[in-house]
Structure 1
Amino acid sequence: MNGGLYRSTHAAPDGNPHRQEGVTVVSVDDQSTPTAAGDQALPPENLPAAGGGSGGTAGQSAIMAVGSLVSRIIGFVRTALIGITVGKVVGDAYTSAQFLPNQIYELLLGGILSSVLVPLLVRRRKSDPDGGQEFTQRLLTFAVVSLGIATLLVVSLASVITAIQSGSDTSPAYRELVTHFAYLILPIIFFTGLSGLAGAVLNVRGHFAAPMWAPILNNIVVIATCGLFLLVYGSQKELTPDNITTAQIVLIGGGTLLGIVVQALGLMPALRKVGFRWRWKWAPRALGLREIGQLAGWMLVYAGANQLAVFLLVRVLSDVTGSDSSASILAFNNVFLLTMMAHGIVGVSVMTALLPKMSAAAAEGRYDEVSADLSRGIKLTSAALAPIVVVYAVLSAPISVFLFQGGRFSNADALATGDVLTVAAFAVIPLSISYLCTYAFYALQGNKTVALINLAVVAVRIGAYFLLAEVLKQSLLAAGMTAANALSYLISALISLAVLRRRIGRLNLGSVAASLARVAVAAGVAAGLGLLVLHLLPGGSEPDGRIEALVQLIPTGAVILIAYLAGAYLLRVREVTQVVSMVRRKIGR
Structure 2
Amino acid sequence: MSRMLRASAIMAAGTMVSRVTGFVRTMVLAYAIGTAALGDAYNVAYAIPYGILDLLLLGVLSSVIVPMVIRAQQHDEDGGRAYEQRLLTIATGTLVVVAVLAVLAAPLLIDLYSDWAPGSRQYEVAVMLARFILPQLAFFGVGAVAGAILNTRDRYGAPMWAPVLNNVVVIVVFLLYAAIGTGSDISKVTNTDLALLGLGTTAGIVAQAAVLVVALRRVGFSFVPRFDLRNARLGEMGKAGVWTIGYAVVTQLGFMLTVNLASSAGDAVKGHGVSPYTLAFQLFQLPYGVIGVSVITAMLPRMSRAVSEGRFEDVRGEFGSNVRLICSLMVPVSLLLMVLGPAITVPIYGHGANSVADAVYIGNVLQVYGLALVPFAIFQLLLRVFYSFGDTRTPVFVGAGTTAVNAVLMVLLYLVLPAAYAVMGLALAYAVAYGLGAVLAWWLASRRVGGLGGWAVGMSMTRMYLAALPTAVLALAAVWLVTTVFGGLDFLNSVIVLAIGGGLGMVLYLGVAHRMRIPEVNSIVGMVARRVGR
Q: TM-score, normalised by structure 1?
A: 0.81
Is the 2:35–2:271 Cα contact (8 Å) retained in structure 1? no
Spell out, residue by residue over 1:243-286, the C-alpha distance to the aligned partner (whole angstroms, 9 max, x if none): 21222111111101111122223334334434444344434444
Question: Which of 14, 23, 34 is the equivalent residue of 1:76?
Answer: 23
CA–CA distance in 2 between the matches of 1:257 and 1:64? 24
Identify the residue that residue 210 of structure 1 maps to in structure 2.
Answer: 158
Q: Is the 8 A contact 2:263 2:273 kept in 1?
A: yes
CA RMSD in angstroms, aligned pairs only: 3.3
Aligned residue runs from structure 1 range 436-455, under 5 A = 436-455=381-400
Q: Which one is further off, 439-448 or 537-546?
A: 537-546
The alpha-carbon deviation at position 191 of structure 1 amounts to 1.4
245, 248, 266: which one aligns with 2:193:
248
Match of 1:269 in 2: 214
How has the CA–CA distance of structure 1 residues 312 and 170 changed in structure 2, closer, same or farther, with 3 Å as cutoff? Answer: farther
Measured in 2, the distance between the counterparts of 1:586 and 1:118 equals 32
1:85 matches 2:45:
no
Relative to structure 1, the CA distance from residue 442 to residue 557 in structure 2 (aligned partners, 3 Å threshold; closer, same or farther) is: same
Structure 2 residue matching 1:241: 3-state secondary structure: coil
In the alignment, which of 132, 138, 146 is matched to residue 198 of structure 1? Answer: 146
Q: Which runs of 5 or more residues in structure 2 are unaligned?
A: none
Q: 1:316 aligns with which of 257, 261, 272?
A: 261
- Equivalent position to 2:57, from 94, 106, 109: 109
Matches within 5 A, 1:287-298: 287-298=232-243
Counterpart in the other structure of 1:416: 361
Task: Tell me if 1:163 matches 2:108.
Answer: no
In structure 2, C-alpha distance between the alignment counterparts of 1:357 and 1:113, rounded to whole Å: 16
> Is residue 334–residue 371 contact of structure 2 (8 Å, CA) maintained in 1?
yes
Matches of residues 376-391 of structure 1 in structure 2 within 5 Å?
376-391=321-336
Of 86-95 and 576-585, more deviation after overlay is shown by 576-585
1:278 pairs, out of 217, 220, 223, with 223
Q: Distance in 2 between matches of 1:199 and 1:510?
A: 36
Q: Give distance in 2, aligned partners of 1:284 and 1:305.
A: 29
**1:186 maps onto 2:131 in alignment:** no
Deviation at 1:564, TM superposition (A): 3.5
Q: 1:510 aligns with which of 455, 465, 469?
A: 455
Shift of 1:324: 4.5
Contact 1:569-1:577 within 8 A present in 2 as well: yes
Of residues 446, 462, 471, the one that matches 1:526 is 471
> What secondary structure is seen at the aligned counterpart in 1 of 2:180?
helix
Matched, 1:478 2:445: no
Which residue type is aligned with residue 82 of structure 1?
L
Gaps of 5+ in 1: 1-55
Q: Which moved more, 1:567-576 or 1:325-334?
A: 567-576
Q: 1-side partners of 2:95 and 2:415: how far apart?
A: 39
Q: Is the 8 A contact 2:287 2:330 kept in 1?
A: yes
User: 1: distance between equivalents of 2:459 and 2:122?
Assistant: 51
C-alpha deviations, 1:365-405, integer Å up to 9, x for none? Answer: 55455445544444443332222122211111111001222
Contact 2:269 2:419 (8 Å CA) reproduced: no
The Cα offsets for residues 185-222 of structure 1, whole Å up to 9 and x where unpaired, read as 11111111122233344445554433333222211111
For the structure 1 residues 435 and 130, does the alpha-carbon distance in structure 2 shift closer, same or farther, using more than 3 Å as the test? closer
Return the match for 2:408 from 454, 460, 463.
463
Residues 534 and 540 of structure 1 are in contact (CA less than 8 Å); yes or no, is this contact kept in structure 2?
no
* Identity level (%): 34
Change beyond 3 A, Cα 1:473–1:154: same
User: Are 2:112 and 2:256, in contact at CA under 8 Å, matched by a contact in 1?
Assistant: no
The structure richer in helix per residue is 2
Q: Distance in 1 between matches of 2:522 and 2:87?
A: 50
- Which residue number in structure 2 is paired with residue 67 of structure 1? 14
For 2:54, the aligned partner's letter is E
TM-score between both structures, scaled by the size of structure 2: 0.88
Corresponding residue for residue 149 of structure 1:
97
SS of match in other structure, 2:197: helix
Seen in structure 2, the aligned counterparts of structure 1 residues 480 and 133 have a Cα distance that, compared at 3 Å, is: same
Paired with 2:218 and 2:513, the residues of 1 have a C-alpha distance of 48
1:336 aligns with 2:281: yes
Whole-angstrom CA distance in 2 between matches of 1:370 and 1:523: 29
Deviation at 1:182, TM superposition (A): 0.7
Letter in 2 for 1:453: V
CA-CA distance at 1:575 after TM superposition: 4.1
> For residue 482 of structure 1, what is the amino acid of its counterpart?
A
